[in-house]
Amino acid sequence: MSFRALNLSPQVLLAVRDAGYTEPTPIQIAAIPHILAGHDVIGIAQTGTGKTAAFVLPILTRLAASMQSGQRRGTRALVVAPTRELVVQIEENVRAYAKHLPLRMATVFGGVSERPQLEALRSGVDLVVATPGRLIDLMGQRAANFSGIEFLVLDEADRMLDMGFLPPIRQIVKALPQKRQTLMFSASLSREIEKLTHEFQRSPKMVEIGRRANPADTVTQFAYEVRAHLKPALLLHLLGDPQFDTVLVFARTKHGADRIARRLESSGIKTGTIHSNRSQSQRLRALKDFKSGAVRVLVATDIAARGIDVDGISHVVNYDFPMHSEDYVHRIGRTGRAHAIGDAISFITPEDHGPLRSLERFIGRGIVRKRAEGFDYNAAAPPRDERGRGERRQSPPKMEPKSPGNSARGSGDAAQRNSGRRPRGFSSTRRSWGRSR
Ligand code: AMP
């Protein structure tokens, strides 16, 4: 099927061609006609399936006519997403798809000054992309006039529920006209999401891509069984392969993420980190460096990594196996995006066997176990005082908070500055690798 057959406006078609897309993805084929026909839509699709374009392209098509006739009618489309990274990415997508249209848009998210966002909202933009918390703050200051909203998009609705955003979303929806089109996207269809559709949508058309919660088919998945103390060395061993070119590493905790990054850096591997203790500018910088190839490895926690959209991630490494199967699906959705091929690798310690079995049931298939060639699986654990600082043994991890992570307080950098010594117990594998590009 071609984009032309989807009845998108000529300016939108031109932008799609400029983006280099040759054909619509399944979610686009399924969702765009419903949205253009004015229906509410519930889209069950993971990031990486092209779902952003699936809602942005038809919204722009519907807004195009009046934008061009110069009839400005205030804000007409509101997209709500869980994290600032996702907001920035949606903004980048909208700007690319609207490049031939006189669209005015604003983004709203925490961790940065309110003033420019207030001014942008007051100036009356066509489209707003926002995280719920900051949007509520600005709405409280009467900055936004949403009485003319025609489109509401709730992106990654499942994640917003997990993050406790239901109350602010309810408040936001209350301020919108009853007569509007509501588009909701979620990685999986849970009972909570079904409840949400009843609350916010009218006779929605359901569009479901692939099996529920099924990781992208283009991702090859492997599990490496390894004892906990060998995880740092195994990561370095794998990074010795130049095919590990653009690697996203997931850690369970912020401090764990900082620790991994320090170890890689001390071994000469350019590494960025992204988690909720990092300031907005640090997070954007890390993402930019990763996208440009200035850093080869990005270490992230689940919340901060939500929706990261970087083309050509070669590998996702679950350094710490995720506690929830949904997180696994989201993590590995970072690679293999929109038809690309990528590998997802999970380190499995003895305590991860239970969660791994649950995951295999969840995704309906087994994950191939693999052994790293040439890796010394029998290396002894370093003496206790030589283990990397705080290497987790018995004590439960301090989890990344279930929050949008808008606070920039208590930067992980401080921990890094104060740690003083380079982690030991790691030097035997110390070597450096250049980027392969
Ligand atoms: P998303 O699921 O919205 O996060 O999109 C994932 C990636 O797919 C983004 O990098 C998009 O630029 C890209 N993309 C979206 N639609 C298409 C398409 N029809 N063909 C190729 N790539 C696409």
pLDDT tens per residue, range 19-59: 888 888 889 999 999 999 999 999 988 777 889 999 999 99
| Residue 325 CB less than 6 A away from ligand 1 | no
Which of residues 409 and 385 earns the better pLDDT score? 385
131 in helix, strand or coil? coil
What is the rounded average pLDDT of the residues 391-406? Answer: 40
- Most confident stretch, 346-350, 362-366, 404-408: 346-350
On the question of pLDDT at 217 being above 70, the answer is no
Closest C-alpha residue for ligand 1 atom 11: 50
| Of 337 and 407, more confident | 337
pLDDT at 25: 87
Q: Residue 336: what pLDDT?
A: 54
Average pLDDT over residues 317-335: 84
Give the percent of the chain with pLDDT over 90: 54
Which two tokens mark 109?
Answer: 């998210």
If you take atom 14 of ligand 1, which residue's CA is the nearest one?
Answer: 50
Across the chain, mean pLDDT equals 82
Tell me the chain's radius of gyration from C-alpha atoms: 22
Ranking 33-42, 124-133, 391-400, 401-410 by mean pLDDT, the lowest is: 401-410
At 117 the pLDDT is 95
Determine contact, residues 186/44, Cβ cutoff 8 Å: yes
pTM (global) more than 0.85: no
| Confidence at 103, pLDDT banded by 50, 70, 90 | very high
Question: What residue has token string 């991860």?
Answer: 352
| Main-chain dihedrals φ then ψ at residue 117, nearest 5 degrees | -70, -40
Instruction: Give the distance (Å) from ligand 1 centre to CA of residue 316.
Output: 18
Residue nearest ligand 1's atom 18 by CA: 21
User: Atom 21 (ligand 1): residue with closest C-alpha?
Assistant: 21
3-state SS, residue 84: helix
Residues 394 and 141: their CA atoms lie apart, in Å, by: 47
The Å distance, Cα 185 to ligand 1 centre, comes to 15
Summarize the confidence of residues 123-148 as an average pLDDT: 93
Task: Say what the pLDDT of residue 63 is.
Answer: 93
Q: Quick one: DSSP state of residue 174?
A: H
pLDDT at 208 over 60: yes
Question: Where exactly does CATH 3.40.50.300 map onto the chain?
Answer: 3-212, 219-410
Q: Does residue 47's CB lie within 6 angstroms of at least one atom of ligand 1?
A: yes
54 C-alpha vs ligand 1 centroid, how far in Å?
9
Q: How far is the CA of 355 from the centre of ligand 1 (A)?
A: 30
Residue of 93, 337, 339 best suited for mutating to test ligand 1, as the one with most atoms within 8 Å of CB: 337
Choice between 73 and 126, residue whose per-residue pLDDT is larger: 126
Per-residue model confidence (pLDDT) at position 162: 86
Evaluate if residue 309 carries a pLDDT over 80: no
User: Which helix (H) or strand (E) element contains residue 343?
Assistant: strand 342-348
User: What CA–CA distance (Å, rounded) separates 272 from 293?
Assistant: 11
Q: Return contacts of 353-362, CB within 8 angstroms, 24+ apart.
A: 355/321, 355/322, 355/323, 355/325, 356/223, 356/321, 358/325, 359/325, 359/328, 362/213, 362/325, 362/328, 362/329
What separation in Å is there between the alpha carbon of 382 and the centre of ligand 1? 45
92 pLDDT more than 90: yes
Distance of CA 300 to the CA centre of its chain: 10
pLDDT at 68: 67
- Cα of 310 from ligand 1 centre, angstroms: 10
CATH T-level assignment (fold) for domain 219-410: Rossmann fold (3.40.50)
The CB of 232 under 6 Å from ligand 1? The reply is: no
The better pLDDT of the pair 191, 198 is held by 198
Domain boundaries 3-212, CATH class: alpha beta
Higher pLDDT, 145 or 408: 145
